[in-house]
Amino acid sequence: MSQSEAQSDVVNKPPLLWLQASIFAITLLVALTLVPWYGFTHGYSWTLVGLAYLFLWANGLSITAGYHRLWAHRAYKAHPVLKVLFALFGAAALQNSALIWCSGHRRHHRHVDDNELDPYSAKRGLWFSHMGWMLREYDAAKEDFSNAPDLLDDSIVSWQHRNYLAIAIAMNIILPVLIGLLVGDVIGALLLAGVLRLVISHHTTFFINSLAHFWGNQPYSDESTARDNSILALLTYGEGYHNFHHTFQQDYRNGARWWQFDPTKWLIKAGSWMGLTTDLKRIPSFKVQRSLLDMQFKRAEQKLAKVDTESKWAQQWRELLDKEYQHFAHNLNQWTELQREKYLQKKERLSEATHEFSNELQHKWHSTAFHSRLRELNFSLKMQRKRMQHLLLQLSDAQPV
């Protein structure tokens, strides 16, 4: 870039948002200086540390389970009591009202990686996607609720949006003061449960917009920069499985496998046992397996393209890959046929005027047969994924069949 272009770029930058920049700078400075100084000179009680930690988790889960998976993606439904808690502790995270946060996040998903339309496009760099996008008046980040009519009709979201400033101040000052009075250390509580908690809450959330688009793998799709990262999941209440999320954004889970660390998923699931959450959306296992296999075939093709296509072993690999793909296509056709049968059976049941005993038995038999065939297809895809993993390893080592 020439000097004149660089100067033009500086001149054309949107105006700086001084309030946001000041909050980020001051809280970070206090967290790096006064928080440790007070700890060394006065100390923090373990009770205060524990309460500050609980406050931090309440913030984080209100953003991930509330702002993100409940309101932005409608991945499940929640009881009003739970929604009020999400609204209160979400405001404590100082990431704007749920309405503003969710409408911007929906634009991110719709226009992911578009430098003009994605509010925090990773293609504009790590700093920009982490927090640079919040420091200036960028057009893509301006308020526009046209994509959130459902949230405008949500009484709790609307209440929080109208009273956001008062709620945010109360949660960030009054609650830490109350914690301080409880443990007998108001200044320590303001520093630990107030400032440090806020800084950690900010940057762990920002990691998803930034690091989760730069660091990790893409097992489900490479159509966007989103990546899965188990280390980030530990820091972000399960949000680190970002490639899965961008591929299946309607799923209430981010960590789809049982062993993946996703406390947000566990909270939502536990809520369903107590009647606090309902209608948990979950992508069928077959669709997840299909995406994993699609990426395996794509990577196998890319690796084969880099070797000598005239060699005997490369031709053998090509034949093996074609055979696997035919098996994959056959399973897809079987699954499509099963879904069609399921739809026709449901339509037939709805059209029946009476439900006789024989019809009920027939329905149960068909339902059992359907689930049995679906399990067989899922197992077939899992076995094929294992074969494809072995094939990819051998291709990486450039070993003949």
pLDDT band at 365 (very low <50, low <70, confident <90, very high): very low
What is the pLDDT averaged over residues 24-53?
Answer: 96
Q: What is the pLDDT of residues 289-303, one digit of tens each?
A: 888 878 877 877 777
Domain boundaries, the chain: 3-278, 285-396
Max avg pLDDT among 110-114, 256-260, 357-361, 371-375: 110-114
CA 87 – CA 106 distance, rounded (Å)? 18
* Count of CA atoms in the C-beta half-sphere (13 A) of 346: 7
Max avg pLDDT among 13-17, 57-61, 255-259, 368-372: 57-61
| DSSP SS3 for 299 | helix
Cβ(156)–Cβ(83) below 8 Å: yes
For the ranges 58-67, 139-148, 165-174, 353-362, the lowest mean pLDDT is seen at 353-362
Count of other CB atoms within 10 angstroms of residue 298: 12
Report field, pTM of the whole predicted structure over 0.85: no
Q: Whole-angstrom distance between the N-terminal and C-terminal Cα of the chain?
A: 50
What is the pLDDT averaged over residues 10-22?
Answer: 83
CA 48 – CA 189 distance, rounded (Å)? 7
CA 111 – CA 273 distance, rounded (Å)? 36
pLDDT at 64 over 70: yes
* Count of CA atoms in the C-beta half-sphere (13 A) of 28: 8
Cβ(241)–Cβ(233) below 8 Å: yes
Cβ(143)–Cβ(137) below 8 Å: no
Cα distances (angstroms) measured from residue 309 to each of 36, 295, 316, 331, 393: 62, 21, 10, 28, 18
Cβ(137)–Cβ(13) below 8 Å: no
Cβ(193)–Cβ(51) below 8 Å: yes
Q: What is the pLDDT of residue 69?
A: 98
CA 197 – CA 54 distance, rounded (Å)? 10
Cβ(140)–Cβ(147) below 8 Å: no
Cα distances (angstroms) measured from residue 138 to each of 14, 135, 205, 355: 6, 9, 20, 60
Q: How many whole angstroms from its chain centre is CA 371?
A: 29
Select from 189, 154, 164 the least CA-distant residue to 175: 189
Q: Any residues with CB less than 8 A from the CB of 30 and at least 6 apart, and which? A: 191, 195
